Amino acid sequence: MRSSFYSIIVLNICIYIASGSVMAQNGKEKPSLYKANSALSTISESIEICKWKNDARTCINFSFDDNNHTHRKISQILDQYGYKGSFFEIASYMNIDSLKDISSRGHEIGNHTFTHADLKSNSIDSTEIDFEIRMSKELIENMLGIKCLSFSDPLHSYSPQSKKIVFKYHNFDRDYSEYFNHDFYELTSTSTINEVISFIENKINNREIILLSGHGIDGEGYESTTQSFLIQTLNLVKGYEQNNDLWVTTLKEGVLYENLYNELALEKEISEDTVYLHFKNFNKNKYRDTEKSSISVAVPYSVDVDLKCLTDSAEIKKFSDKYVITTDLKRDTSLILVIKSLGPTTDYSLNKSNTEFSVSPNPAIDFLNISGEQNITSVEIYDLKGQLILNQTNNNKKINVSSLKKGCYLLKIKQETGNVGYVTRIKFLKK
């Protein structure tokens, strides 16, 4: 039953994809039939991991501490803008019904210790620090039925000892990450919009994460701000967001991306008109409790180049000067991009002739049968990292795949008619 379930899930991911065919014409001398287009190398060299998701200039998070009743109202205001915030709770006196409602709408619930203890105080030892952090996390998770992945230090106060214990139980901390200490601006009764603008623009220029924190609104909570000032701030942020200056998200998603940007390496492989991108060093165990682990890459845009992504889970956004492709590393640590030149300066142009093939069975166990009337010049099989696994240079339409490991593969079927060459790509599953 487990094997059957696995096959169905992966097969849904590895759907049939047949690319547009490629035509080559070159006067007297027959061209190199499957030569990569001239723009491919230049483009692939320029592909890089984005500093922030969707290639925004930076990331911004709204967070609110303690257990104030106005947290529900704040979350509802954030909803009106399509934003999700982070609410850090003191577990010894939580407003359970309110927090369940906030969590159900996609906002993050984080840990703010059991009693709001000062973790840097000389009067608290490692055992007490461990209790404050661990007990609060357990209560939040048990009472709300969620995973509590983020921590906020009471009074923004911490020590090397408390840092170590925080990361024993959590993936993320608001005041620091494994790579950086975080600065923040606190929304209080004395805040001004000019101060907020100055803080945001400084962070945008430095491409650093923006943390706007507070406690409550309209008189509830320590030095609370007002609802009107919160709305004024959100209107300001909306303007920056519409220019792709800001990515507004929860603390856990923002710091997760910050971590991944510092941990990942991008490996590139080129085969003909296909670029294989593989994200190395993704630690699945470290981020096992995250719902997603998103990462974005930027690909330069050119009007004479056509780009297709064969990774089904990826999302593509097109800007004036680039494509931005975002994928969830928990689903796929590779991207497959087909990049074709459309301009007259190369040997290739698109041709809509019928070159369709199909394969069966899919999933395959021992053999893969190719159906189609056309003669085949060669068949190649690549893994999703772009490694050539099999190369068969004859018209045999029955391919022995028994030696392949279980997983998803890319089949390239090549055919030639005179000076015209065609490539068809199909994903298939080996089980």
Element (H, E) at 131: helix 126-144
Helix, strand or coil, per DSSP, at residue 47? coil
- What one-character DSSP code corresponds to residue 321? S
Q: Are 133 and 151 in contact (CB under 8 A)?
A: yes
Q: Report the alpha-carbon distance of residue 87 to residue 331 in Å, rounded.
A: 28
**Residues in Cβ contact with 363 at an 8 Å cutoff, skipping those fewer than 6 apart:** 7, 10, 11, 428, 429, 430, 431
Give this prediction's pTM.
0.77
DSSP for 345-388, please give it: TSSEEEE------EEESSSBSSEEEEE-SS--SEEEEEETTS-E
In this prediction, residue 395 carries a pLDDT of 77
CB contact set of 287 (below 8 Å; sequence gap of 6+): 171, 256, 293, 330
Residue 252 confidence (pLDDT): 98
pLDDT for res 419: 58
Q: Phi then psi for 422, rounded to 5 degrees?
A: -130, 145
Q: What is the pLDDT of residue 74?
A: 98
Give pLDDT < 50 ranges for the chain: 1-37, 343-354
- Name the residue among 258, 264, 331, 254 with its Cα closest to residue 292: 331
Contacts of 118 (CB under 8 A, 6+ apart): 124, 154, 155, 157
Cα separations in angstroms, 70 against 215, 242, 315: 9, 28, 36
Give pLDDT tens digits for 174-189: 999 999 999 999 999 9
Q: What pLDDT does 244 receive?
A: 93
Chain-centroid distance, C-alpha 61: 17
For each of the domains in the chain, give its residue range(s) and CATH number, in order of start.
1-34+348-431 (2.60.40.3080), 36-55+262-346 (no CATH), 57-243 (3.20.20.370)
Give 66-98 as a DSSP string.
Answer: S--THHHHHHHHHHHTT---EEEE-GGG--HHH
Q: What is the pLDDT of residue 351?
A: 36
Amino acid found at 84: K
Q: Which of 309, 313, 316 is nearest to 328 (CA)?
A: 313
What length does the chain have?
431
What's the CA gap between 42 and 289, in Å, rounded?
38
Contact 172, 151 (CB under 8 A): yes
The C-alpha atoms of residue 130 and residue 115 are separated, in whole angstroms, by: 12
Pair 272, 380: CB distance under 8 Å: no
Whether a cis peptide bond, with omega within 30° of 0, leads into 363 is yes
* 190 alpha-carbon distance from chain centroid: 37
For 138-155, the pLDDT digits (tens) are 999 999 999 999 999 999
Q: What is the DSSP string of 235-246?
A: HHHHHHHHTTSE
Q: Which parts of 227-306 fold into alpha helices (H)?
A: 227-242, 251-263
Nearest of 287, 303, 410, 426 to residue 355 by alpha carbon: 426
